[in-house]
Amino acid sequence: MQSDEYLDGHYIGIRKESETDSSCTYRFIANRYRRIDKRRLEDLGPVFGTFRIDKGSGNTELIEPMPGDDKGGAYVRAAQKIGRYWREGELPDSATYCAG
C-alpha cells in the first residue's frame, strides 16, 4: 500500500473458507482507503488475508497476510474473534470484528 492508504481496522469481516477434521481456514476482509483531503476519503476496495485455526488446540496460523496489514493487527483481531468462538465450542461460518 502507498503511504497515504490505510486499512479500516475497526470493521473486519471473517468467513470460513474450508474445514477439515482438524482445522478450519478463514478469510478475513477489510476495506482500504486513501485520504483525498482533510475531510474526504476514497474507498479503494477490500483486501483479504487467510488464517487457519486448529480445532484441537485453538492455535491460529497466518497463511496469507492481508496487503497493508504490516503490523498484523487485522489478523490478530480476526483470529481473536474466532478464538472466542472456539473456546465456546463453535467455529462459525462467518463473523465480524467491530470496534467502536
The three cell numbers of residue 15 are 468467513
Residues 96, 76, 48, 55, CA torsion sign: negative
Say if residues 52 and 75 touch (Cβ distance below 8 Å): no
- Tens-place pLDDT, residues 29-70: 999 998 888 888 888 999 999 999 999 999 999 999 999 898
Q: What is the pTM of this model?
A: 0.89
Domain of 33, in residue numbers: 5-98
For 1-100, strand residue ranges (E) read 5-7, 11-19, 23-35, 41-54, 60-64, 94-98
Whole-angstrom CA distances from 36 to 3, 8, 67, 84 are: 13, 16, 20, 37
Q: How many domains does the chain have?
A: 1
1-33 pLDDT per residue, tens: 556 777 887 899 999 999 999 999 999 999 999
